[in-house]
Copies of this chain bind each other. A is one copy, B any other.
Amino acid sequence: MTEERSTRPPAPSDLLPDLTTEQLRALHQIGRQWDRVAGESEEWRRALPVDPNVGSYPARHQVRQPRYERFVTVSELGADPRTTLASETPGEASTPAGRAGYRLRRVLLGPALKSTALVRERMRKLVALPVLSSDALSSVAYGPEAMLTILVIAGVAGLSLSLPIALMIMLMMLVVGLSYRQTIRAYPNGGGSYIVARHNLGPTPGLLAAGGLIVDYVLTVAVSIVAGIAAITSALPALSGATVPLGLGVMALLLAGNLRGVRQAGILFAVPSYVFVFSVGAVIVVGLVDAALRGFPPAPTTQVNATTGVTLFLILRAFTSGATALTGIEAITNAVPAFEPVEWRNARTALTWVVLTLLALFGGLMALILVTGTVPAPGQTVLSQLARHSFGTGAMYVLVQASTAAILLLAANTAYNDFPRVLSLLARDHYAPRGFMRMGDRLAYSNGILLLSVAAALIFVSFGGDTTSLIPLYAVGVFLAFTLSQAGMVVHWWRSRARHWRKSLAFNAAGAVMCAAVFVTAAIVKFSAGAWVALLAVAVFVTVAVRVRVHYDTVGRALRLRPHAASAPGGPISVVRRPPDEGAHTMAGSSRAGRTSDREAEETPEEIHHLSVVPVETLDLANIRALAYAASLRQPVLAVHLSPSEEEAERMRGYWLQWGDHLPLEVVVCPYRTIIAPLVNYVEALHEQRSDLTITVILAEVVPLRWWHRLLHDRMAFRLRHALRERPKIVVTTVPFHV
């Protein structure tokens, strides 16, 4: 796998695994085996009773096709006569419910998109900046508050520490920002934490980073929505009772929007970020100027009751809570290819701007908090208090709150973009179910989007839409991913020795050390407050991912092409063409001796020895059709009747003779009245006699029209299929009969 391919998101064509040279050779060899034994009968194989290329079928327009016409339109261009082009199609819409679902999907999501609609959009810096920075910038809406919420426990003494802690966090922003500048240069195709960690540190650190990201994205959605709703309820306290339904509504909107395939780019997405930066900037400037004009009066002594003293533990908790303001800072490193050329240079510039804006907003807000003596209050966010302090409750206040809510929503949307992408990368590396690699109708990774929605909604509801209890979970995952990503970069520079590698290595090392420190601190001081949940989630994720990988590897090995050894003397063809009078027993004996393996190995068509078993419940039209189908294959057929009593068995034999006894019938009396198990065991017993046989169990299945009618039938076919699917070399065929 080339580096280029392994870092870009999976394309639809990645679903077909590439065959290695060795596998191609195996394939070729298998083909020659088929050639050898099948040569003389090659001709009939190419004869088809229909034109497979339905597109160029001349009588096409004459074929009555009132019902399916709109589903299969075929390539009229005739670009490649072997290719038929499927139209947009209504899923498995054979049932009314299925069709209704299809229509609903089209209404909600719009028409399905072709894979060729997948283009990489390029963004100018002025657009890319707000779009990619919403996650990072929005953190200032809850970061300072999260920090103060901890400090206020220690009263005035605690709050006095907010300045040094804030300075520390700003230093971290600077270092992490500089560190990520190096990543952008090294991974111009986009260097998410998972990719960087896996490339440089190996699979397990990669999975740990991915686990951190996965947890992070789920929490980003939950926290951003909680904070966004807090911004709204601060302005409209009447809504504060409806936090949970509001949040779920927003999630449903995000889900629908992202399944629809909302593109990140677009002025629509840029506006809220600019408005947010502008309005929060105005809050800061107005507030500070106001204070300056009044000669920086000492902050009014706020009534806070210290419930605990200032401890190192408390300081560290406040620091790690405030450090959530760093989340989202890595977004640009994922999206380097979205910039205009020279991509990495533009991305770096954008990152610098984002970090500077973040520093300004965070620093400004902290300064204003100190000057005004604001402390967290129930029912109103700190940012809302500051905005009220600067502007009262006028239009500007509403603008601040609205833009805060909007940018937080965008931050959640960022997670909706990144979470499925990470999962698709994991799926391509066989660490996640393949379904996450599949793009839906609208070219979005629908399964990942759905999973994120479900997980975030569960978290959101079970925490009752409360930010303070979610924040402790948050920092851990983010800083785990940060740490591994930076550490990966250190290794990268050490190995590559590219230009300026020493300087880059130094920056990344500083970032790694600081992030590691925050991660370890957060994991320890917030362990009992909720960090254990995040750590456990990461651990579970890594375990599951590894198990998934092991399974896929097992399946891959089992499915690998490996031509089997040459057949026994006498050749398989003579076995197929044996005269019917030759005894079955000797056949079984010689065949068992002649074949080396009875496993489900590769076989040429002529090596497959058939026996069709038709369970006949009674002689009605459905069963007669199944018998006719079986007989028409011109392979040995055995009808089996399972009879609950000797009396019924006799009756069945009478019917059989009446019919003409065209096929051999075996009656199995089942005195215990169960049908499935005796039949399975009987088929097994037949298989024991000649394990090289491929036994095809041909089932007549009555298919009623309505779903509830199915309750009235005994689902024999379904249960038999289920019971037989575990057994090797037993093929199940269902001959439907529609009522």
Contacts and interface: CB of A to CB of B under 8 A. Distances in A.
Contacts of A633: 610, 633, 635
26 contacts: A31-B660, A32-B660, A35-B660, A47-B584, A48-B664, A49-B587, A51-B584, A59-B585, A59-B689, A68-B684, A68-B685, A72-B682, A84-B682, A86-B669, A89-B674, A434-B712, A435-B714, A440-B673, A548-B712, A551-B704, A558-B621, A558-B737, A558-B739, A602-B624, A603-B625, A733-B733
A266 interface: no
A40 interface: no
B669 A562 contact: no
A88 B677 CA distance: 9
Given A31-B660, A559-B702, A666-B53, A645 B115 contact: yes
A701 interface: yes
A114 B672 contact: yes
Contact of A662 (B34, B92, B434, B673): B34
A310 interface: no
A313 interface: no
A672 B441 contact: yes
Nearest to A631: B605
B48 A644 contact: no
A669 B83 contact: yes
Contact of A719 (B38, B92, B714): B92
A603 B628 CA distance: 7
A628 B584 CA distance: 24
A314 interface: no
A468 interface: no
B46 A619 contact: no
A82 B681 contact: no
Contacts of A114: 671-672
A89 B12 CA distance: 47
Interface stretch (A234-242, A482-490, A720-728): A720-728
Contacts of A554: 739
A689 B74 CA distance: 14
Interface stretch (A327-335, A525-533, A651-659): A651-659
A648 B84 contact: no
A557 to B, nearest CB: 9
A611 to B, nearest CB: 6
A17 B618 contact: yes
A632 interface: yes
A51 B711 contact: no
A733 B696 contact: yes
A588 interface: yes
Interface string A25-50: 00110111011001001111111111
A94 interface: yes
Interface residues of A, number: 186
Contacts of A59: 585, 588, 689
A146 to B, nearest CB: 37
B632 A48 contact: no
A11 to B, nearest CB: 7
Contacts of A115: 644-645, 671-673
Given A619-B27, A625-B603, A671-B114, A684 B72 contact: yes
B64 A688 contact: yes
Contact of A686 (B12, B52, B729): B52
A95 interface: yes
A85 B611 contact: no
A618 B27 CA distance: 12
Contacts of A64: 688
A559 B621 contact: yes
Among A16, A44, A606, find the residue whose CB has the most chain B CB atoms closer than 10 A: A16
A71 interface: yes
A65 interface: yes
A644 B13 contact: yes
Contacts of A83: 646, 649, 667-669
Interface pairs A-B: 8 shortest CB-CB: A31-B660, A47-B580, A86-B678, A89-B677, A12-B644, A13-B648, A605-B631, A114-B671
